Amino acid sequence: MRHRTVSEVMTRDVVTVPPAAPFKEVVRLLVAHEVSAVPVVDGERRLLGVVSEADLLRGTAELPALEGRWAGVRLLSREYGLPEAETAAELMTSTAPTAHPDWNLSETARTLRREGVGRLPVTEGGERLVGIVSHRDLLRPFLRDDAAIREEIERDVLADVLRLAPGTVRVSVTNGVVTLTGRVDERADVSVIVRLCRWVDGVVALHECLNHAHDDLTLDVEPSRSERSG
């Protein structure tokens, strides 16, 4: 059983800007390519930081309100301590979180959620930028064909990992939803099978109707009065 990695789903053709890129050029690239952020890289594609839409709007958001002021008063940015970032280097967040090409998709999804971002630059050796991975990229495995998901469960999970005889557990997949039916030896086997099958890339949900050998055992019942007297 093999989990897909960031390198398999990431976008490799990344829109980037150099540190000296002017404010308007950064905005133009975001709009033209319909992205919400761009990595800032040096001449060797080393990641220096990321400029997001929020970074670009920070100056506007921090402008003082004009309500109640005489229209003839000129507000000076230096007087109010407003940011005057003009280039990507001045705008960027230099401590942006990153991902590694070998990360699995679950690990990447957890990092995106923990950091509260929509995308992660992907770097390797020496912080060289090799791609970018987003929430949308992580959704790609859910487009897998039902037959491919069923084959992976039957071959990689049930046969190779669990060593179950063919036909012990039957698998059906519809729109990514897996249903398992059949019979196993132990009650504990059910949770293991479910957990491993659920980890297969592309599985949306899983339902199991698995019986086990203990279901055949009848509970001891209290003997009848005649049996006790005999």
Instruction: Write out the residue limits of the CATH 3.30.1340.30 domain(s) in the chain.
Output: 144-216
b/e code 108-131 from CB counts within 10 Å (16+ = b): beebbeeeebebbbbbeeeeebbb
DSSP-derived 3-state class of residue 183:
strand
- Residues 37-89 have pLDDT tens digits of 999 999 999 999 999 998 998 866 555 555 555 455 555 544 444 457 899 99
Q: Does domain 6-62+77-141 have CATH number 3.10.580.10?
A: yes
Instruction: Write out the residue limits of the CATH 3.10.580.10 domain(s) in the chain.
Output: 6-62+77-141
Given a cut of 80, is residue 32 above it in pLDDT? yes
Comparing 79-88, 91-100, 157-166, 219-228, the range with the smallest average pLDDT is 219-228
The CATH fold of domain 144-216? Histidine-containing Protein; Chain: A; (3.30.1340)
The dihedral over CA atoms of 102, 105, 108, 110, expressed in degrees to the nearest 10, equals: -140
